[in-house]
Amino acid sequence: MSTTERSEVVGARTVGPPPVPVDLRLAAAAVAAWGVAFLATGRPDLLAWGLAGSALLLLVVLGVVRRNGRGARVALVLVAATLVLFSVVLQHGRSTAGDVEELADRRVSGEFSAVVTADPHALPTRRDGEPPRVVLDVRLTSVDARGATRGLAAPATVFAVAERWRDVRWGDRLTFRGRLGTADPGERSVVVVSAGDLVRTDRPAGFLELSETLRTGLRQAVSGRSADVRGLLPGLVVGDTSALPPDLEAAMRSVGLTHLTAVSGSNTTLVVGFLVLAASWAGFGRRSRLVVAGVGLVGFVILARPEPSVLRAAVMGGVGMAGLAAGRPTRGIPVVGAAALVLLVADPWLAREFGFVLSVLATTALVLLARPWAERLTRAGVPRVVAYAVAVPVAAQAVCGPVVALLQPAVNVVSVPANIAVAPAVGPATVLGLAATLLSPLWPAGAAVVAWPAGWCAAWIAAVARFTAQAPTSVAVPPGVAGALVVVLLTLLVLGAAAAVLRWRHGPGRRWPALAVVLVLSAALLVRCAPRWGGPAGPWPPPDWLVVGCDVGQGDAVVLRSGPTSAVLVDAGPDDVLVGGCLDRLGVDRLDAVVLTHFHADHVGGFAGALAGREVGVVHVSPLAVEPAAGRVREQAGSTPVVPLTAGDTGAAGAVTWTVLGPEPEAARVRAPDSAQVNDSSLVLLADVQGVRVLLTGDAERDEQRAVLARWPAGVVADVVKVAHHGSPTQVPQLYATARPRVALVEVGAVNDYGHPAASTLDVLAATGARVLRTDTGGDVAVAGAASALRTLERGPDPREAERRARYGSG
């Protein structure tokens, strides 16, 4: 034994190296399990080799552990990773039984039996006259197709027309007709289904029927209140957002309040805490109170639907309450690690959900930081209730902020104040709403009375959300890891400023310089972020913008700068208001040219809005004139020339020049084209904007992309590529490898039932090294500067436009 490892007994104490805290072991095991689950769920086909290697390594480590107790740390990590791998293998094998993926590749149609695992959610319609649609998760149990019936156990995502489907509920057993399609790798669903008619619905009895009765009772108890209350209170209590007004939902999203309507750990903490308190008042002992809390938690999960997010919230909410109740907050850390590990083993696909990561981080902040920060505020003279109301959201924001920045590259400056403002109303609304829910089957009138004060609490939350959403809500940061690091630095600076204030209250005057320094640094960093990366609270557009991808939902609208207030517009998106708003923000009052790559609605639907109030030089269109869309374009263009282009044509408008790489003139002779042929008639342009080459691909699919590749000018590379067909999987990787873009622009809607952009397409772009800009996550996106020093900027999604954008986001 070495000197550093030797220990000796002195009296009753052991002197030597301290044991590794169980906190760190479980935390390391949970992190390892998350990483393995994230990788394994993306490539389950490689898991057999991974399992074999892990098992072999585990045997080696266990041999080491027998000789050296320090190896227990490594063994715990490997055991966690191996359990997750086994879970992925078993669940993936069960999910893909019956060759369901092969059937999906062939897009087989048939009659399906399924069990509903998540309530339907409405999808926005793309255009007037389109029937409403819904999306829901199911577990397919069988398929009757091509004269044979196969047993399945496949998780699937179903898209269906809302009529008859909007009343489907969690737990229902369905028989319906539909057509299979493939799902993206890494998704929990192994297939998607475009559903037709419902043949039969069997509604389960027992607890599930009771839970639906209770949910309906709560909706009826608030039926006479305002639309905000009718939509928000069921969301606060049981996560039922079916009646939440879209504008209120957008406002809550913009100021960081959506966690209130998604069943989260805070919901379960409130419910269980109320039950424990009630049991304590009734004289129950400690063990009895735990039994009451456990039974109440199970009942709440059934009431709120045992979907993955709810189960995660139940586990994390219970952990959060235990951590706050503990005398030493660090005791909650091993419990959080163990809970995360159990959840990952039970459902490894949670590793790919930002919600899971944020839930774990928020719970960790709750048990580790919230109590000591609140106690520090209390010692500084802040009332205890106010101290906790401040400490809880601040701790959650501090820990979750960097991860949120990966989703939306911005620092939300009103999120914490908004959460503090609504905090006093959340508890009463949830508890009273739950009481009204439980009372509703027995005494509906009494339930309405109990729900009345809960409704006022919900109305206050809605008012705060709407008021704070009117102000500039965020400062943009760089997207990706750089943005997360900026948020970390900002958080440390702000917390340092707060600490300096608290110390100054009880310290000498020299605390003032420290406070001044951290405040100046914070302000300087925020000012530096704003002009460089734009954002709703910063300047838009950048003064030297060259190319802008407009956020028009699931559609294309790309603007090339041709002069100080003029531009070339390539496609006009699906909606006139959205494309018109983008051009207005850019200060474009003249369109030197409009290029409509093909005549699908998501590219020409907003043409009239683009023309409104602007001079237009010429309109260029695809040679394949698809009616009636082509006729509407000619009518809207009026006296403006409408000129088809084909491969080999060249042109110029202001500072923009272009060469047409496709399609061939023969495209005009196609009769009764299908959707793929229309896509492959897209105009493909290689444009030049002040020395920056831009490849514009419309919705070109593989055939046209190969033709473009054959015509590609030798030795030429593109600085910017507009990715074809919203990032669909129908890409030719060699085209992107040949173009070698520095920036790849994906025009895609945040909600679309095609799974755009496809993971395979993002992999192709990653292989080129291009910086990827996406309108679904970045809003309007811009390429600015000069060819020698390009910059990329994101305006960020605008909550005031979210409802209209989402309307055109379903594909």
The pLDDT of 341-370, averaged and rounded, is 79
Strand segments, DSSP code E, in 586-713 are: 590-596, 615-616, 619-621, 642-644, 650-653, 656-662, 684-689, 692-696
Determine the pLDDT at residue 689. Answer: 94
Confidence of residue 71 (pLDDT cuts 50, 70, 90): low
Closest CA to 376 of 367, 384, 368, 365: 384
User: Chain centroid to CA 292: how far?
Assistant: 35
Distance CA 432, CA 440 (A): 12
Determine the pLDDT at residue 18. Answer: 42
Determine the pLDDT at residue 524. Answer: 45
Determine the pLDDT at residue 9. Answer: 36
Beta 720-722 vs 692-696: how paired, if at all? Answer: parallel
Check: CB of residue 314 under 8 Å from CB of residue 300: yes
Q: How many CB atoms lie within 10 A of CB 71?
A: 17
Q: Does residue 611 register a pLDDT over 70?
A: yes
Confidence of residue 533 (pLDDT cuts 50, 70, 90): very low
Residues shown for the chain: 811
Range from 286-300, 406-420, 691-705 that averages highest in pLDDT: 691-705
Question: Would you call 244 helix, strand, or coil by DSSP?
Answer: coil
User: Chain centroid to CA 754: how far?
Assistant: 16
For the chain, what percent of residues have pLDDT higher than 70? 75
Check: CB of residue 678 under 8 Å from CB of residue 725: no
Determine the pLDDT at residue 759. Answer: 83
Q: Does residue 566 register a pLDDT over 70?
A: yes
Burial code (b: 16+ CB inside 10 Å, e: under 16) for 463-475 equals ebbbebbeeebbb
More confident residue, 650 or 504: 650
The pLDDT of 395-412, averaged and rounded, is 71
CA of 94: how far to CAs of 154, 343, 795, in Å?
A: 7, 19, 44
Range from 27-31, 333-337, 557-561 that averages highest in pLDDT: 557-561
Residue with tokens 């109320």: 274
CA of 356: how far to CAs of 38, 86, 335, 403, in Å?
A: 12, 20, 16, 11
Confidence of residue 200 (pLDDT cuts 50, 70, 90): confident
Check: CB of residue 684 under 8 Å from CB of residue 704: yes
Confidence of residue 502 (pLDDT cuts 50, 70, 90): low
The pLDDT of 582-595, averaged and rounded, is 92
Determine the pLDDT at residue 752. Answer: 66
Confidence of residue 11 (pLDDT cuts 50, 70, 90): very low
CA of 447: how far to CAs of 211, 311, 435, in Å?
A: 16, 27, 8
Residue with tokens 């199970």: 298
Residue with tokens 């601040």: 394
CA dihedral (772, 778, 780, 786) positive or negative:
negative
CA dihedral (729, 730, 734, 740) positive or negative:
negative
Kindly calculate the radius of gyration of the chain based on its CA atoms and give it in whole angstroms.
29
Distance CA 588, CA 558 (A): 13
The pLDDT of 515-522, averaged and rounded, is 48
Confidence of residue 806 (pLDDT cuts 50, 70, 90): very low
Q: How many CB atoms lie within 10 A of CB 35?
A: 13
Closest CA to 615 of 630, 587, 593: 593
Check: CB of residue 457 under 8 Å from CB of residue 228: no
pTM for this prediction: 0.59
Map 366-416 to HEC letters. HHHHHHHHHHHHHHCCCCHHHHHHHHHHHHHHHHHHHHHHHHCCEEECCHH
Distance CA 578, CA 568 (A): 17
Distance CA 727, CA 775 (A): 11
Which residues, including other chains, have CB under 8 Å from residue 704's CB and lie 6 or more apart? 662, 663, 679, 680, 681, 682, 684
Q: CB-hemisphere CA count at 13 Å for 604? A: 26
CA of 673: how far to CAs of 352, 409, 537, in Å?
A: 39, 41, 46
Strand segments, DSSP code E, in 33-120 are: 109-116
Q: Does residue 64 register a pLDDT over 60?
A: no
pLDDT digit string (tens) for 672-716? 788 888 988 999 999 999 999 999 999 999 999 999 999 898 888
Token representation of residue 804: 């209209």
The helix (H) or strand (E) run that includes residue 122 is strand 121-123
Torsions phi, psi of 493, nearest 5?
A: -65, -45
The pLDDT of 778-783, averaged and rounded, is 90
Q: Does residue 392 register a pLDDT over 60?
A: yes
Token representation of residue 576: 């006139």
Determine the pLDDT at residue 621. Answer: 94
More confident residue, 796 or 758: 758
Chain mean pLDDT for the chain: 77
Q: Does residue 22 register a pLDDT over 70?
A: no
Determine the pLDDT at residue 131. Answer: 67
Check: CB of residue 748 under 8 Å from CB of residue 756: yes
User: Chain centroid to CA 436: how far?
Assistant: 32
Classify residue 206 as left (phi > 0), alpha (psi -120 to 50) or beta.
Answer: left
Task: Please list the alpha-helical segments (H only) found in 620-732.
Answer: 629-637, 675-679, 702-711
Q: How many CB atoms lie within 10 A of CB 413?
A: 16
Range from 263-267, 290-294, 807-811 that averages highest in pLDDT: 290-294
Which residues, including other chains, have CB under 8 Å from residue 631's CB and lie 6 or more apart? none
Q: Does residue 368 register a pLDDT over 50?
A: yes
Q: Does residue 532 register a pLDDT over 80?
A: no
Token representation of residue 557: 């609208």
Map 278-323 to HEC letters. HHHHCCCCHHHHHHHHHHHHHHHHHHHCCCHHHHHHHHHHHHHHHH
Confidence of residue 17 (pLDDT cuts 50, 70, 90): very low
Question: Would you call 654 helix, strand, or coil by DSSP?
Answer: coil
pLDDT digit string (tens) for 96-137? 887 888 888 777 888 889 998 887 877 655 444 556 778 888
Determine the pLDDT at residue 130. Answer: 57
pLDDT digit string (tens) for 767-779? 888 889 999 888 8
Q: Does residue 661 register a pLDDT over 90?
A: yes
The helix (H) or strand (E) run that includes residue 235 is helix 227-238
More confident residue, 505 or 718: 718
